[in-house]
Amino acid sequence: MDADTAEDEELNYRGPSRLIAISQCDETKPACLRCVNRDQPCEYFTQAQEHEALSDTDPASVSISVAGVSEGPTSLSQITPPLTLSSAGQTPASVEARQEDFSVDEIYHEATGLVDFGQASDSASASTMAIMKDLFLFDHYMDHTCRDLEVIPDVAYAKQVGIPQLAAENQGILYSIMALGATCLCIDILSGQGSCSQVDDLVELISAGDRYHRMGMQAVQRQLATNQPRDLAEAHAHTMLLFPYALARRRVTYLLNEVDPPTPRSGVDTHAEHISSLEWIIILRGITTTGRACWTNGSVCINDAACCDRSQKIHFLVSSHVLTKLAEPTDRSCAWNGFQCRIASKHPLFPVISSTRVVALEALQQKTERVSQLMRDLHRKNPPLDLEKSNEQLSRSLSLSACFMAVDLLLNMVNVIFSPGSEVEERYPNVRVSTEPSFQDSALPWLKRYSSAPIYDPALPACRTIFSWVNRTPDEYFQLLMKPLPPLAECEANWRGQAAMPDTDREIQLLAWDIWAHWLVFTILIEGESFFMAAFGVPDIVNLLPWFTTSAAESPGIQSGSPVAQPTSWWPGSMCAVAQQLRKYEGKD
């Protein structure tokens, strides 16, 4: 009998007393010498594993066991909140529901001081303890943020149950939920009371949201890199949290600039966003890309028994807090009312846009045709003589074709919203927001419904229908928007009547921005449908005003002989002015 066989028999002989031998292992080593020599996984517990094994009587661990998640990851096919979870499993970082009303500042300050690090597990890392300190952001998401758009059943279930349930096992999703909760809390502070008495705490809260958002983005990238079905499905659900954060962060910066007196660090940053900074579009279009990768292979079934990305595993105390929060009744009273949804069809600007849209979109189509004629004339006068010139002409043709498609898709979207049930045949019927799963028993049925193409109903929010235009337009169109805008000095030179050859590339780019501004008009209608979309379209249209004319008398195109002169007033600017007047009338400005 060799030494290894003797060791195996001795190990089997230990039987029930094996834990005693395990606890005597030299824990200063990453693995025992026997397992290192035999090149096999070490059977001894590490210090952290032993602590968790000996803490089964802890209420938090009992709560996890009752919820059925202590033996393995939660099944993705059964995304339902645990019904038998006891409130005894509440971690010290939780924020209890209150019957009386508190100011937002008081809630924030109280929540930040609820963590007693002495009660936390000794094996918890510093990052885990930091997450536990900020779990009140998850509570704020569950109490207020996820109530957004709850009138749509599939959206409500995904935001209130499906995605938070995944956060109990996926640390990256929890990061993004906490980031969204942080921005929502900032908006509540700034819009609810107009100012914040504790500026330093508000800045710290904003920094925490940015930090968790970056960590969430990194987690999505890691999961996409695995190319595993389960990771792709969770990443697809995860991206739906990254998009609203980008817009909510913009609104936080706008609100900071409106605070009187101005607060420190409230200057314009990348989230306040210059009109050529469209990072949120990349995230929104990434939802579609991730969804297609998730649902493409019909023969693939998601394996619930294994988690591919182990870096996403979460500490059991944090998981217990998430599950406990999910088990709380949804009809319990909240500390304050939060956001009040107003659907697009109830917006006071809705009838104004409805009555003026036809003429405005016809003018946009005519402008597109004029730019196309300008390009054809240029190509006819300057035929390509080499490969480089041919590639330039091909690039212009692709860009202009993308603009034509963007206009047609905009017309389709407008007909869906303002002429529901009309027999308007789509010019591009095969272009869809997302690809439906081809296999029948999807492991994430709620995700399948949430990611499907939206069906517009005048009695429901229209934000998904309006944002679907962004996902359906071709990449060549958004490549035009990603380029820097032409300098205003060049426009002013043309205004003074200086003779110059028409710049086709410039005209195509300005056409793309004109189409974009027309779409922004419809985003004004959905500013009351979500807390993160308020004041979304108006600021961007205002930023674009210097590049476009307001009337035929002031049109620089007429003075300079441009073939793309604006024959009437610029419709996006007019609708923006009406929206600003309505906001003043409602007392929001």
- The predicted structure's pLDDT at residue 372: 92
At 319, is the secondary structure helix, strand, or coil?
helix
For the ranges 71-75, 113-117, 485-489, which has the lowest average pLDDT? Answer: 71-75
Does residue 337 form part of some domain?
no
- Return d(Cα 133, Cα 152) in angstroms, integer: 32
Q: What is the pLDDT of residues 344-397, one digit of tens each?
A: 888 999 999 999 999 999 999 999 999 999 988 888 888 877 788 888 888 889
Does residue 7 form part of some domain?
yes
- Return d(Cα 18, Cα 21) in angstroms, integer: 5
Q: Provide, rounded to the nearest whole percent, the portion of the chain with pLDDT above 70.
A: 57
Does residue 335 form part of some domain?
no
Does residue 441 form part of some domain?
yes
Higher pLDDT, 88 or 111: 111
Q: Are residues 449 and 574 in the same domain?
A: yes
In this prediction, residue 311 has a pLDDT band, given cuts at 50, 70 and 90, of low
Does residue 180 form part of some domain?
yes
- Indicate whether 519 pLDDT > 90: yes
- The predicted structure's pLDDT at residue 330: 63
Cα separations in angstroms, 434 against 69, 289, 407, 464, 469: 32, 8, 20, 12, 12
- Indicate whether 476 pLDDT > 70: yes
- Indicate whether 443 pLDDT > 80: no
Q: Which amino acid is at 113?
A: G
Does residue 60 form part of some domain?
no
Q: Are residues 467 and 502 in the same domain?
A: yes
Does residue 412 form part of some domain?
yes
Tell me the H-state helices in 113-146: 126-133, 135-143
C-alpha torsion angle, residues 39, 44, 49, 54 (rounded to 10): 170
- Indicate whether 308 pLDDT > 60: no
Q: Are residues 350 and 255 in the same domain?
A: no
Average pLDDT, the chain: 68
- The predicted structure's pLDDT at residue 78: 28
Q: Are residues 236 and 170 in the same domain?
A: yes
Q: Are residues 359 and 318 in the same domain?
A: no
11-20, 291-300, 488-497, 510-519 — most confident range:
510-519
* Domain range enclosing 29: 3-50
**Percent composition of the chain: helix, strand, coil (DSSP 3-state, to 5):** 60, 0, 40
Residue finishing a domain among 268, 295, 327: 327
Two tokens, residue 418 = 């303002």
Q: Are residues 27 and 172 in the same domain?
A: no
State phi, psi for 418 to the nearest 5 degrees: -100, -15
Does residue 547 form part of some domain?
yes
- Indicate whether 197 pLDDT > 80: no
- Indicate whether 442 pLDDT > 80: no
Q: Are residues 490 and 417 in the same domain?
A: yes
Q: Are residues 11 and 117 in the same domain?
A: no
Q: What is the pLDDT of residues 286-301, one digit of tens each?
A: 887 777 776 665 434 4
Q: Are residues 261 and 368 in the same domain?
A: no
Average pLDDT over residues 52-64: 33
Q: Are residues 165 and 285 in the same domain?
A: yes
Q: Are residues 370 and 304 in the same domain?
A: no
Q: What is the pLDDT of residues 79-109, one digit of tens each?
A: 222 222 222 233 223 323 333 333 434 433 4
* Total number of domains in the chain: 3
In this prediction, residue 413 has a pLDDT band, given cuts at 50, 70 and 90, of very high
Q: Are residues 21 and 159 in the same domain?
A: no
Two tokens, residue 465 = 């229908």
